[in-house]
Amino acid sequence: MSSFVWRRLWSMVPTLVGITIVTFILIQLAPGDPVTIELEGGMRAGSVSARVVEDFRHAFFLDLPLLVNLHPMDVEQRVDRRVADLGHSRRRAEAITRLQGIGGAALPYLIPRIEGTDGDIHDGVMHALAGIAERIGMESELASASQAEVFWREYWDVYRLDYTPGRAHRLVRRLVRRDDPLARAELRRLDTYAYTPLIEALDQGLDAEQTTRIITMLRQVRRSGPTVNADDDESARADTVSAWQEWWRRERSRYEPLGRAGRITAVVTETQYAKWLGRVATLSFGVSQRDGRPIMAKLAEKLPVTILLSILSVLMAYGLAIPLGLRSALRRGAWSDRVTTLVLFFIYSLPVFWTATVLIQGVCGVSGPAIFPLGGLVSDGAEQWSWWRRGLDLAHHLVLPVVCLSYVSLAVLSRYQRGAMLEVLAQDYVRTARAKGLSRFRVIVHHALRNALLPVVTLLGLQLPYMISGAVIVERIFNIPGMGLETFEAIRSHDYNWIMAVVTLTGVLTMLGILASDIVYAWLDPRVRLDGLDEGEAT
């Protein structure tokens, strides 16, 4: 048995990867993405511009290819692309702005373009360089130089060696050791080229003063970003540091070059799927694109609600269905069996949304007595009550939703149980047990029921994934903030991160559920061997 279980657990991993890849591709194939979906239904006149859309997509890595990135973009590629854009009249202005935005990190690729280009592109390059000169504090020198080209050539002759990783790291180390104004001035000249060593410095444990120095330098380069203040405590500082690190994770491909090795790995790592996989490996599913909240936080909020509802409804459905089916089978053909059958068929045909609405109208104080609360999970002011009272209040709120969720399965399962029981009761071994003189109870429960439970138990295992998917209709009508409603909204607004998180969880639970079901099956029925056939065994 144990080797069987291990084998099954190991095979879950490639299955999961396969499921996630397929889902990933499928949801991307659906037209529309989170940006356009936000304009659902009635549109706002004069809404988002192209640049805004591009920024949004970049923030969520939506501008990366799905699975394979044959042309990974690093700072060099970006500079090349923007320089090529300088030749097109409609994209010139945008290209110049973007090049200036790349700042000092672009200089190693931009300055060599001064020679060898002419006309519009040359003008554009000089324009962009002028903007960068302002960023690094060299605008007056540039203005007083006779020719801009000469200025840049001389600048590059003198300072080229500064734009190397070794030198940049050394400067940052100096800044960490003490407040060195010379180091600061040189780092300012490096401008965005210094991002990499600065952020890496933050990753090492620094004390308050050092962190403040590094972050101040970062803010100077970026002209914005989270600050540290003198009166900040440990956690506020940690928040700011992780904010900077998160920012760098998103933006580093804009400022860093990829080495040769980097370019090869980037073929798979600079893809949407890889970014998602990286997040999942650290058990952070990222941030919901619909409302910007971390997925884990939302799951922690909604999953317990849905699981509670599901467990209660499964308990109710199975708890009532098995005895009902059993009773029907034992009294087959009698009045009670016929009436039960009729009532169950009738209940089965009532649609859930209708039942829910009628119940609300009838017993929630709208047109009838207020026996139950009107939706939600907790009453007003429940925070102050004792645990005991809160538990009762929760149960009070859950009665109607659980009833609505379970009555259909109740009808179906009891019929299943009845059928299985009838089949078992006709078997020879039951008659033998009765003939042996065993009590009626022991015959029915110990011998017959144990076999009749097999099909029902298999079904129970398959219920596990449905536990987390929730029920949209019931959740909406009873105003319960659970997984069903959230997933429904996520699908409508193409919240990829949430959908992938739910798919992964459901995949894991489905496999666990089937595995559990198989194990219980083997326990209930010793004829089933899970480790493969023994020699000499037939069938």
The answer to whether residue 531 forms part of the interface with other proteins (CB under 8 A) is no
The answer to whether the CB of 491 falls within 8 A of the CB of 15 is no
The answer to whether residue 369 forms part of the interface with other proteins (CB under 8 A) is no
The answer to whether residue 56 forms part of the interface with other proteins (CB under 8 A) is yes
The answer to whether residue 49 forms part of the interface with other proteins (CB under 8 A) is yes
Out of 29, 50, 70, 230, name the contact with other proteins by CB under 8 A: 50
Q: Which stretch binds other proteins (CB under 8 A): 24-32, 75-83, 275-283, 463-471?
A: 24-32
Output b/e per residue, 485-498; b: 16+ Cβ within 10 A. Answer: bbbbebeebbbbbb
Total of chain residues touching other proteins, rule CB under 8 A = 65
Instruction: Lay out the site mask for other proteins across 226-265 (x = CB under 8 A, - = otherwise).
Output: xxxx--x---x--xx-xx--xx--xx--------------
- CA-to-CA dists, residue 355 to 209, 452, 479, angstroms: 64, 31, 15
Output the smallest distance, CB 381 to other proteins, in A. Answer: 10
Q: Which stretch binds other proteins (CB under 8 A): 48-56, 73-81, 436-444, 457-465?
A: 48-56
Output the smallest distance, CB 48 to other proteins, in A. Answer: 6
Among residues 68 and 374, whose Cβ is nearest to other proteins? 374
Output the smallest distance, CB 280 to other proteins, in A. Answer: 19
The answer to whether the CB of 285 falls within 8 A of the CB of 298 is no
The answer to whether residue 168 forms part of the interface with other proteins (CB under 8 A) is no
The answer to whether the CB of 86 falls within 8 A of the CB of 100 is no
Whole-number Å distance between alpha carbons of 485 and 474: 9
Query: Phi and psi at residue 287, in whole multiples of 5°?
Result: -120, 140
Whole-number Å distance between alpha carbons of 539 and 516: 24
CB within 8 Å of 105: residues ≥ 6 apart: 75, 191, 192, 193, 195, 255, 256
Out of 366, 371, 395, 462, name the contact with other proteins by CB under 8 A: 366
The answer to whether residue 364 forms part of the interface with other proteins (CB under 8 A) is yes
Among residues 46 and 333, whose Cβ is nearest to other proteins? 46
The answer to whether residue 37 forms part of the interface with other proteins (CB under 8 A) is yes
Out of 370, 395, 426, 462, name the contact with other proteins by CB under 8 A: 370
Output the smallest distance, CB 383 to other proteins, in A. Answer: 9
The answer to whether residue 220 forms part of the interface with other proteins (CB under 8 A) is no
The answer to whether residue 394 forms part of the interface with other proteins (CB under 8 A) is no
Query: Phi and psi at residue 536, in whole multiples of 5°?
Result: 85, 0
Out of 447, 494, 500, 502, name the contact with other proteins by CB under 8 A: 494
Query: Phi and psi at residue 364, in whole multiples of 5°?
Result: -110, 15
Output the smallest distance, CB 416 to other proteins, in A. Answer: 33
Structure tokens at 381: 């002011």
Query: Within 465-484, which residues bind other proteins (CB under 8 A)?
Result: 476-479, 481
Structure tokens at 35: 């940006």
Q: At what angle do helices 2-29 and 272-281 cross, to 10 degrees?
A: 140
Instruction: Lay out the site mask for other proteins across 275-294 (x = CB under 8 A, - = otherwise).
Output: ------------x--xxxxx
The answer to whether the CB of 469 falls within 8 A of the CB of 499 is no
The answer to whether residue 334 forms part of the interface with other proteins (CB under 8 A) is no
Query: Phi and psi at residue 294, in whole multiples of 5°?
Result: -60, 140
Residues found in the chain: 539
DSSP string of 471-516, one letter each residue: -HHHHHHTT---HHHHHHHHHHTT-HHHHHHHHHHHHHHHHHHHHH
The answer to whether residue 154 forms part of the interface with other proteins (CB under 8 A) is no
The answer to whether residue 36 forms part of the interface with other proteins (CB under 8 A) is yes
SS (H, E, C) 311-377: HHHHHHHHHHHHHHHHHHHHCCCCHHHHHHHHHHHHHHCCCHHHHHHHHHHHHECCCCCECCCCCCC
Q: Which stretch binds other proteins (CB under 8 A): 34-42, 103-111, 142-150, 198-206?
A: 34-42
Cβ atoms < 10 Å from Cβ of 302: 21
The answer to whether residue 455 forms part of the interface with other proteins (CB under 8 A) is no
The answer to whether residue 78 forms part of the interface with other proteins (CB under 8 A) is no
Structure tokens at 522: 């083997």
Out of 1, 7, 32, 304, name the contact with other proteins by CB under 8 A: 32
The answer to whether residue 141 forms part of the interface with other proteins (CB under 8 A) is no
Output the smallest distance, CB 385 to other proteins, in A. Answer: 15
Out of 13, 14, 42, 234, name the contact with other proteins by CB under 8 A: 42
Q: Which stretch binds other proteins (CB under 8 A): 54-62, 196-204, 451-459, 529-537?
A: 54-62
Q: Which of 237, 105, 102, 96 is nearest to 168 (CA)?
A: 105
Whole-number Å distance between alpha carbons of 394 and 383: 12
**Which residues of this chain interact with other proteins, rule CB under 8 A?**
30-32, 36-53, 55-56, 59, 224-229, 232, 236, 239-240, 242-243, 246-247, 250-251, 287, 290-294, 301, 357, 360-361, 364-366, 370, 374-376, 378, 476-479, 481, 485, 494
